[in-house]
């Protein structure tokens, strides 16, 4: 059975290189190419490829949005992300959008055939650098969870209030504590979480869902 592949990248030279490589595989066929997102989506609807090799960062509709739409309309189509950038935001958003794999362009010609076969088998694929990034993210997430667990109930309350923009004096009144006590708790909280400023504490509180973005008061 021949695997039908659509190439989506805004660099024609890269598309030509991938086409030349993949056409040497007897069970793979390039059915189309696109240099931007809108055309890619139209070709998916027309050609119904088995695999789409998708550039992540394109002008107009980017690869994240195109992938999201493809998976919504054609959930059986596999999307293999391709990017120049090793950025956690790109990696996480592509997988959240439904991509089955993520390759860096520096790895493309070495690993693309293996990656295609892997995602066709229903498995996820990540090149070594991307896999390392994902492991680092997991470790950091576990560390943050441990730090959050280490906060006492009162420290968690103070964290929420600080992140919402409350002053030390206001927090002291709300919690029935002294200003000196709140200052000490604030220093202890920052140390436990490994943070250096209230700005970092706000980011932490939003990320860990201790507050909503709208809860933060501009002071």
In whole angstroms, what separates CA 36 from the centre of its chain? 21
Residue 109 corresponds to which tokens in the numbers above? 């010609």
Q: What is the mean pLDDT of residues 27-49?
A: 97
Per-residue model confidence (pLDDT) at position 131:
92
pTM of the model: 0.67
The 10s digit of each residue's pLDDT in 127-140 is: 999 999 888 777 66
Instruction: Judge whether residue 73 has pLDDT over 90.
Output: yes
Contacts of 85 (CB under 8 A, 6+ apart): 56, 57
Contacts of 32 (CB under 8 A, 6+ apart): 6, 7, 43, 47, 49
The 10s digit of each residue's pLDDT in 85-130 is: 898 889 999 999 999 999 999 988 989 999 999 999 999 999 999 9
Is 144 in contact with 195 (CB distance < 8 Å)?
no
**Is the domain of 17 the same as that of 100?**
yes
**Is the domain of 100 the same as that of 164?**
no
Kindly state the DSSP code that residue 177 receives in the 8-state scheme.
-
Q: What is the mean pLDDT of residues 161-187?
A: 94
Q: What percent of the chain has pLDDT over 70?
A: 92
Residue 206: band (very low, low, confident or very high) from pLDDT cuts 50, 70, 90: confident
Contacts of 99 (CB under 8 A, 6+ apart): 54, 67, 79, 80, 81
Is 182 in contact with 161 (CB distance < 8 Å)?
no
* Domain count of the fold of the chain: 2
The 10s digit of each residue's pLDDT in 142-159 is: 666 656 667 888 999 999
Residue 59: band (very low, low, confident or very high) from pLDDT cuts 50, 70, 90: confident
Per-residue model confidence (pLDDT) at position 33:
97
Q: Quote the domain boundaries for residue 170.
A: 151-215
**Is the domain of 91 the same as that of 166?**
no
Domain-embedded: residue 43: yes
CA-to-CA separations, 29 to 77, 107, 140, 193, in angstroms, rounded:
15, 21, 41, 52
**Is the domain of 155 the same as that of 128?**
no
């Amino acid at each position: 059975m021949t695997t039908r592949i659509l190439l989506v990248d805004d660099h024609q030279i890269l598309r030509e290189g991938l086409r030349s490589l993949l056409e040497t595989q007897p069970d793979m066929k390039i059915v189309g190419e696109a240099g931007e997102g809108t055309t890619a989506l139209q070709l998916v609807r027309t050609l119904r490829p088995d695999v789409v090799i998708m550039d992540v960062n394109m002008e107009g509709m980017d690869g994240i949005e195109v992938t999201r739409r493809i998976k919504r309309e054609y959930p059986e189509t596999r999307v293999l992300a391709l990017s120049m950038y090793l950025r956690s935001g790109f990696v996480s958003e592509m997988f959240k959008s439904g991509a089955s794999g993520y390759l860096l362009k520096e790895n493309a010609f070495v690993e693309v055939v293996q990656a295609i076969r892997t995602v066709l088998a229903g498995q996820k694929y990540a090149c070594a650098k991307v896999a390392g990034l994902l492991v680092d993210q997991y470790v950091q997430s576990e560390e943050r969870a441990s730090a959050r667990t280490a906060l006492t109930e009162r420290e968690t309350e103070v964290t929420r209030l600080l992140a919402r923009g409350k002053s030390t004096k206001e927090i002291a009144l709300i919690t029935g504590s002294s200003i000196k006590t709140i200052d000490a708790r604030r220093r202890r909280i920052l140390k436990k979480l490994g943070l250096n400023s209230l700005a970092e504490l706000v980011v932490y509180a939003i990320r860990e869902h201790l507050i909503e973005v709208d809860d933060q008061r501009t002071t």
